[in-house]
Amino acid sequence: MTVLAVDKLVKHFPIHGGLLQRQVGSVKAVDGVSFSIAKGETLGLVGESGCGKSTVGKTILKLIEPTAGRIVLGGEDITALKPGAMWPHRRRIQTIFQDPYSSMNPRLPAGTIVGEPLENFGIAQGRARDERVAALFERVGLRPEAMRKYAHEFSGGQRQRLGIAKALAVSPEVIVADEPVSALDVSVQAQVLNLLIDLQAEYGLAYLFISHDLAVMRHISHRIAVMYLGRIVELTDKRTLFARPLHPYTEALLSAATVPDPRRRRAKKAIVQGDVPSPAKPPPGCHFHTRCPYAVADCKVKDPPLREVAPGHHVACHLR
């Protein structure tokens, strides 16, 4: 069952200049992204910094308004909903931030922070709230006594567990996790990722997992979408992506990643030249053609659609 569907999502940020500060252009942060996530599934969204993956997450959460496209949550179109009308849907989609400390009030005890959503949505108050918060603390691996502590008294991994408990409090259907383990030590990363996997199996959660780390993606994702300059260039299950990537950009990402087993021979490294173009002036045609070693004439003028070239394997490339 599909719990989140995104169709041709676009988010452009205006650029103003001149004496009258008129709009002189736009940053095409997200440029026609489409995907869906089923109940109990993790879709990984991977790409270089600045490719637009975090903007996708913020737009889906309606923290910023989309320029065009559709966002369908649990069968209901939430794209054009105003903040007031969006409130009932907030409970269904929650987020885990990269830096949980920045999203926590330093003046409030941890128990109050996690219990806040329960009161806001009228789920539990008073003693019932405290009991539920204590159960959430235990479920994410924290002692109930820690409810009296403040955010600065926790380690980075413990703060992230607090963020997970807060997201979990209102029993959401979808969780958008934006680089949730990138600031943690490797050993703590594994613990948090395994916790997220266990919670998904227990509650049937759907994750949109945003990261630049392919090793993390391989551990937690069921399917992976590769983004480049505001567009998805490849989308398939993780096993196929790592074994048989079809887009040149995906090949480059994988060849640049660390090989976990030194006994395995690395495939021939894909050579990518130049820097990532500006999203304010993306190249015509295929956005990757300026760096692609296999580019042909059509790549410079024709925009390749994301099409299914094998069962469940979508790629945007003229050569496939």
pLDDT in tens, 161-172: 999 999 999 999
Report the CATH number at residue 230.
3.40.50.300
Q: Give the tens place of pLDDT for each residue, 122-146.
A: 999 999 999 999 999 999 999 999 9
What is the per-residue DSSP string for 117-146? HHHHTTS--HHHHHHHHHHHHHHTT--GGG
Structure tokens given for 48 = 């270089």
Average pLDDT estimate for 150-173: 94
User: Domain check: are 85 and 74 in the same one?
Assistant: yes
In whole numbers, what is the pLDDT of the chain averaged over residues? Answer: 92
pLDDT at 188 over 70: yes
114 and 232 in one domain? no
**Three-state secondary structure call for residue 188:** helix
97 in a structural domain:
no
Tell me the mean pLDDT in the region 6-20.
93
Assess if residue 99 is contained within a domain: no
Domain count along the chain = 2
Same-domain pairing of 68 and 200? yes
Q: Does 158 share its domain with 304?
A: no
Q: Does position 121 have pLDDT exceeding 80, yes or no?
A: yes
Q: Which of 142, 170, 198 is the last residue of a domain?
A: 170
Are 43 and 209 spatial neighbours (Cβ–Cβ below 8 Å)?
A: yes
196 and 230 belong to one structural domain: yes
The pLDDT score that the predictor gives to residue 50 is 87
Write down which residue in 119, 154, 170 finishes a domain. 170
pLDDT of residue 259: 52
**pLDDT at position 58:** 96
* pLDDT at residue 198, rounded to an integer: 97
Mark which of 123, 149, 170 sits at the end of a domain.
Answer: 170
| Whether residue 198 is found in the same domain as residue 278 | yes
For residue 268, what pLDDT band results from cuts at 50, 70 and 90?
low
Identify the domain containing residue 289 by its residue range: 2-15+25-92+172-315
Residue-level pLDDT at 272: 73
pLDDT tens sequence across 25-71: 999 999 999 999 999 999 999 998 889 999 999 999 999 999 999 99
Q: Which two tokens stand for residue 180?
A: 């949730």
Mean pLDDT across 208-224: 94
Report pTM: 0.92
* Together in a domain, 221 and 275: yes
Is 271 found in the same domain as 212? Answer: yes
Residue 181 shares a structural domain with residue 231? yes
Contact 200, 189 (CB under 8 A): no
Tally the C-alpha atoms within 13 A of residue 292's C-alpha that lie toward its C-beta.
24
Which residue would you say has higher pLDDT here, 183 or 207? 207
